[in-house]
């Protein structure tokens, strides 16, 4: 009999409507979405806008003109797909990507299994493997640019000690590409 009375009270109680403030206070409310929304907005603006702009620009014959060029639709894509050199380049890129990812997967898994075993100096080996991963590529590229600097770089210092000069690889006077310490013969 007491069970029946409890069920009647549960049915007769009205469900209270939860307000916006209470939803923010609750763990499963809107607060997580409210916090993540600005980040998602920045990602969409920074990531999606350039992609959509590039796709839109590809539908014109010359989108760099101030007038925007003439709308030609998918003709640029048809021209690309009809080009044998382009198809060859894409197929080589796809093959290279598949082979290199498979090779890196096997090599990485092998190294991971090796350094997971206990051996003397394991911590040092793990640190040595993680150090190159920790440095961003841009820092590495900038360091190489500094080393190849023809005024202050370490390669320039090495070359002057060997009485050699920095020789332009591409034949330009600007020396955009240079081999360090190549001897020049006149």
Q: Does 122 map to a domain?
A: yes
If asked whether residues 149 and 123 sit together in one domain, one would say: no
Q: Does 162 map to a domain?
A: yes
If asked whether residues 149 and 125 sit together in one domain, one would say: no
> Tens of pLDDT along 130-165?
777 777 777 878 888 888 887 888 877 777 766 555
Domain that holds residue 141: 136-186
Q: What is the pLDDT of residue 169?
A: 46
Which of residues 98, 114, 134 is at a domain's end? 134
If asked whether residues 46 and 59 sit together in one domain, one would say: yes
Which of residues 55, 82, 109 is at a domain's end? 82
For 70-118, give the secondary structure using H, E and C: CECCCHHHHHHHHCHHHHHHHHHHHHHHHHHHHHHHHHHHHHHHHHHCC
Q: Does 67 map to a domain?
A: yes
Q: Does 2 map to a domain?
A: no
Q: What is the pLDDT of residue 7?
A: 54
Q: What is the pLDDT of residue 185?
A: 44
Structurally, the chain folds into a number of domains equal to: 3
The tokens describing 149, both together, are: 């600097």
Q: Does 11 map to a domain?
A: no
Q: What is the pLDDT of residue 90?
A: 94
If asked whether residues 110 and 120 sit together in one domain, one would say: yes
Q: What is the pLDDT of residue 25?
A: 64
Give me the average pLDDT of each 10-residue run along the chain (186 residues): 53 65 64 85 89 89 77 90 92 96 94 88 85 76 83 76 55 50 48
Say if CB 75 and CB 58 are below 8 A apart: no
Q: What is the pLDDT of residue 103?
A: 96
């Amino acid at each position: 009999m007491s069970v029946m009375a409890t069920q009647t009270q549960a049915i007769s109680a009205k469900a209270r409507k939860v307000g916006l403030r209470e939803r923010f206070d609750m763990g499963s409310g809107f607060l997580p979405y409210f916090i993540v929304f600005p980040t998602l907005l920045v990602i969409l603006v920074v990531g999606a806008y350039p992609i959509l702009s590039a796709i839109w620009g590809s539908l014109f014959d010359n989108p760099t003109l101030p007038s925007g060029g003439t709308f030609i639709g998918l003709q640029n894509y048809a021209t690309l797909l009809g080009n044998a050199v382009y198809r060859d380049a894409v197929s080589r890129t796809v093959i290279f990507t598949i082979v290199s990812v498979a090779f890196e997967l096997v090599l990485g898994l092998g190294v991971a299994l090796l350094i997971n075993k206990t051996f003397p100096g394991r911590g040092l080996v793990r640190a040595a493997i993680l150090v190159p991963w920790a440095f961003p590529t841009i820092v590495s590229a900038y360091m190489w640019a500094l080393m190849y600097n023809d005024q202050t770089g370490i390669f320039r210092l090495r070359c002057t000690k060997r009485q050699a000069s920095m020789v332009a690889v591409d034949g330009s006077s600007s020396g955009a590409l240079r081999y360090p310490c190549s001897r020049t013969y006149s």
